[in-house]
Structure 1
Amino acid sequence: MTPALVFDCDGVLADTERDGHLPAFNATFAQFGLPVRWSVEEYGRLLAIGGGKERLATLFTPENVAAYGLPADPDEQKALIARWHKDKTERYTALIASGVLPARPGIARIAAEALAAGWLLAVASTSAEASVQAVLEHAVGSELAGTFSVFAGDVVPHKKPAPDIYLLALHELGVAPADVVVVEDSGNGLRAARAAGLATLVTVSSYTADEDFTGAALVVTSLGDLPDEPATVLADPYGLGVRGEVRLDDIERLRTAAGDAPGTTSKGAAL
């Protein structure tokens, strides 16, 4: 069976949440005359909620509806969230295109290694597809990005930490869980991938360094690019002995070790 390497987007391809999504949300609030500005700390708490539209929905408290003149009708709220989210996505993709957010170390390198070795490449994210495509092309270049399958946005009924997006990826890629390694950066993402039966490598990001990554097959500061941007190993339950950067043979050993571990299974949940 052909193996697959599946990346989350935000925090994995680039550290986008604090310096990309957050300012885009706040600029949208200003554009629509909404007197709300999420702080770095508040947005960090909102990241426990999967999906930008779902985070916007938290604004519709009875107090905010009364204070800001927001609609009380659920259908009108849904329509306004869609308008806000469309504006925010356009602002975010323009920010990514400007090149101000660098790709995380090792992303382009490991993707190119995997493609050359015959692995399937994919992104599975709860972000809007346009945002994911923009980050992916920025992180690995348009040519390499064109080899990825992208599963993003509202294509599944439940977002992370539910496993739906990963179950969809398994189904569409035609691979078994034992043939997949996921790269995630958050506890929610780890729970989603593990619920789908997938070995998960975690590269912590600015918002997630202190989260619980129990169940991850490897936890590192990044995938690493030597000599200038080495990775530090934070947890190595299978004793892979990664030194400085995670390479494809490390990921293959991780996949094999996770598949052979007691209590694991090669069978995923049915889509």
Structure 2
Amino acid sequence: MASTVISSSSPSTSTALYFQNKATPFSRIASASPSTSFLGATLKSVACKNKGRFVHSKISKGNDVRCSVDSVVPKALLFDCDGVLVDTEKDGHRVSFNDTFTEKELGVTWDVDLYGELLKIGGGKERMTAYFNKVGWPDKAPKSEDERKEFIAGLHKRKTELFMALIEKKLLPLRPGVAKLIDQAFAKGVNVAVCSTSNEKAVSAIVSNLLVPERAEKIQIFAGDVVPRKKPDPAIYLLAASTLGVEPSSCVVVEDSAIGLAAAKAAGMKCIVTKSGYTADEDFLNADAVFDCIGDPPEERFDLAFCGSLLEKQYIS
């Protein structure tokens, strides 16, 4: 029988199981009962606690479940920014793009549904370029390719300024569990970085304003045009691993989108997806785990111990 990888959600929520074998991709069995039968083995429990610490289950022969203290932690915890740290897209970036288009009198408005489609393109400058290439460039746009690049760069610069003003006013909150997970990582000496296709200034504004200076000064940021190819290309995650001096296989990524997941997996990293407003219906079959958020107690979905457990293969045979 093919080996099957099993990971579990935090014991504080209903159990979610993710299976993989050679014949099938990851699939999710949601809200599994305490005793679930799969491939002839009975999973009596997939998670438990030991003296306040989360531990993960190891399935052994004989249909029993053995729990052991999880001592493995990632060498680096890498977060996407938009949709992961903050659900910024609909009421942050989209609004700032539209305000920029209005200021420049371009006659362009991106509604909620259209922007959701445009998010499949990584990077704001790339997003605008693809949109104008498809529907036609505004009358005020220059004609030559080089001048259009400068035009797009100018629009994106202004959009970033407007977005940063929103962040500085703290109108968009951190998603549940983000600060908790980062603090757990720091307590264990785990490197923390933010890896985003968004403008570096915008990402820095989110980190410095919403994660407070004490956290922000410990977090490395890889963003914007720091790499020539953006997600789903793995370049930004490989750069982060190289800069931090860790192996990609020792990193755990938290993403919210299919293109971010593709980038993380192409880099050879474990990836947890926390769905956001625009990405809830995307295909996450290749993810190592999928949740609606990270979560704070008593609604915690997962913690650092769970991230570490993904680095250890757990088998049924």
The bucket for the TM-score relative to the shorter chain is: 0.7 to 0.9
Corresponding position of 1:191: 262
After TM superposition, give the deviation of residue 145 of structure 1 in Å: 1.1
Pairing 1:55-204 to 2, within 5 Å after superposition: 55-61=127-133, 64-65=136-137, 68-204=139-275
Corresponding position of 2:107: 35
Corresponding position of 2:95: 23
Say which structure is richer in helix.
Answer: 1
After TM superposition, give the deviation of residue 134 of structure 1 in Å: 1.1
For 1:2 and 1:183, the matched residues in 2 are separated by 12
Gaps of 5+ in 2: 1-72
Q: Tell me which amino acid in the other structure corresponds to 2:242.
A: H
- Point out which structure has higher relative CO (alpha carbons under 8 A, 6+ apart): 2
Q: 1:250 aligns with which of 292, 296, 306?
A: 306
Determine if contact 2:261/2:287 at 8 Å carries over to the other structure.
yes
For 2:176 and 2:89, the matched residues in 1 are separated by 16
Q: Tell me which amino acid in the other structure corresponds to 1:114.
A: A
Determine if contact 2:74/2:251 at 8 Å carries over to the other structure.
no
After TM superposition, give the deviation of residue 246 of structure 1 in Å: 1.2
For 1:251 and 1:73, the matched residues in 2 are separated by 48
Q: 1:14 aligns with which of 86, 90, 108?
A: 86
TM-score relative to the length of structure 2 = 0.74
For 1:31 and 1:200, the matched residues in 2 are separated by 39
After TM superposition, give the deviation of residue 45 of structure 1 in Å: 0.2
Determine if contact 1:103/1:138 at 8 Å carries over to the other structure.
no
Gaps of 5+ in 1: 231-243, 263-271
After TM superposition, give the deviation of residue 138 of structure 1 in Å: 3.2
Structure 1 segments of 4 or more deviating over 6 A? Answer: none
After TM superposition, give the deviation of residue 60 of structure 1 in Å: 3.1
For 1:185 and 1:56, the matched residues in 2 are separated by 21
Q: Could you list the per-position Cα deviations for residues 50-71 of structure 1 after superposition, in whole angstroms to 9, with x for gaps in the alignment?
A: 0000011124338633x62421
Determine if contact 1:2/1:118 at 8 Å carries over to the other structure.
no
TM-score relative to the length of structure 1 = 0.86
Deviates more, 1:132-141 or 1:53-62: 53-62
For 2:277 and 2:135, the matched residues in 1 are separated by 31
After TM superposition, give the deviation of residue 245 of structure 1 in Å: 2.9
After TM superposition, give the deviation of residue 137 of structure 1 in Å: 2.2
- Inter-CA distance 153–16: structure 2 relative to 1 (3 Å threshold): same
Corresponding position of 1:219: 290
Determine if contact 1:160/1:189 at 8 Å carries over to the other structure.
yes
What is the identity percentage for the equivalent residue pairs of Structure 1 and Structure 2?
A: 48
Determine if contact 1:24/1:88 at 8 Å carries over to the other structure.
yes
Output the aligned Cα RMSD.
1.8
Say which structure is richer in strand.
Answer: 2
For 2:241 and 2:110, the matched residues in 1 are separated by 35
Matched, 1:205 2:261: no
Determine if contact 2:291/2:301 at 8 Å carries over to the other structure.
no
For 2:144 and 2:237, the matched residues in 1 are separated by 33
- 2:222 aligns to what SS in structure 1? strand
For 2:115 and 2:164, the matched residues in 1 are separated by 19
- 1:161 aligns to what SS in structure 2? coil
